[in-house]
């Protein structure tokens, strides 16, 4: 059975609505994504990244850090986990990384020079977090910390 809308077709108004509401936002979004992807450039950087956040989960290599909500460090790893805590929790941690990184030049190294000495910089590891239960379902919390990244500098030789 044919309805009136099917018999008359979409019409000019329907055509405009189709292209202005459904097709154009998607094509615009795809065009912007394609433009950003094609215009991106590689990043040249060198550094040393360590996943030491200064939280108790460092003792277990950060395994389950986002799933285990037993202290205020959950505000750093997974803020949604604050809902699993009751009462008030706070903590502060501090550490210091002393890096020792050397380059081993051999006959296959394409650039002449020495070993550059100790290339690693030292880095502090600091973290503090606080979670307070306002109600059973509403929590207030914050976490501030450093991600242990240290620069590498092999010198000019």
* pTM of the predicted structure, to 2 decimals: 0.56
**pLDDT band with cut points at 50, 70 and 90 for residue 3:** very low
User: What pLDDT does residue 7 have?
Assistant: 44
The beta-carbon contacts of 79-86 under 8 Å, at least 24 apart in sequence, are 79/141, 79/143, 82/131, 82/139, 82/141, 83/137, 83/139, 85/131, 85/133, 85/139, 86/133, 86/136
Q: What is the pLDDT of residues 46-96, one digit of tens each?
A: 566 666 777 777 777 777 777 888 888 888 888 999 999 999 999 998 888
User: What pLDDT does residue 20 have?
Assistant: 52
Q: How many CB atoms lie within 10 A of CB 81?
A: 20
92-114 b/e (C-beta count within 10 Å ≥ 16 → b): ebeeebebeeeeeeeeeeeeeee
* 14 has pLDDT over 60: no
Q: What is the pLDDT of residues 97-127, one digit of tens each?
A: 887 777 777 777 777 766 667 777 777 888 8
Q: What is the dihedral of CA 6, 12, 17, 23, to 10 degrees?
A: 90
User: What pLDDT does residue 99 have?
Assistant: 78
Residues 145, 52: contact at Cβ < 8 Å?
A: no
For the chain, domain boundaries: 4-39, 47-151
Q: What is the pLDDT of residues 15-60, one digit of tens each?
A: 555 545 555 566 777 888 788 778 777 666 556 666 677 777 777 7
């Amino acid at each position: 059975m044919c309805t009136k809308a099917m018999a008359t077709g979409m019409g000019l108004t329907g055509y405009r609505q189709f292209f202005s509401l459904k097709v154009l936002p998607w094509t615009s979004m795809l065009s912007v994504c394609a433009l950003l992807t094609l215009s991106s450039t590689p990043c040249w950087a060198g550094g040393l990244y360590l996943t030491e956040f200064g939280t108790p989960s460092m003792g277990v290599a950060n395994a389950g850090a986002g799933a285990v909500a037993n202290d205020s460090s959950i505000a750093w790893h997974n803020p949604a986990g604050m809902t699993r805590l009751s009462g008030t929790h706070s903590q502060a941690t501090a550490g210091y990384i002393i890096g020792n990184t050397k380059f081993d030049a051999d006959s296959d190294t394409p650039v002449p020079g020495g070993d550059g000495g100790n290339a690693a910089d030292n880095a502090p590891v600091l973290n503090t977090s606080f979670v307070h239960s306002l109600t059973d379902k509403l929590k207030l919390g914050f976490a501030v910390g450093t991600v242990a990244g240290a620069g590498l500098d092999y010198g000019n030789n």
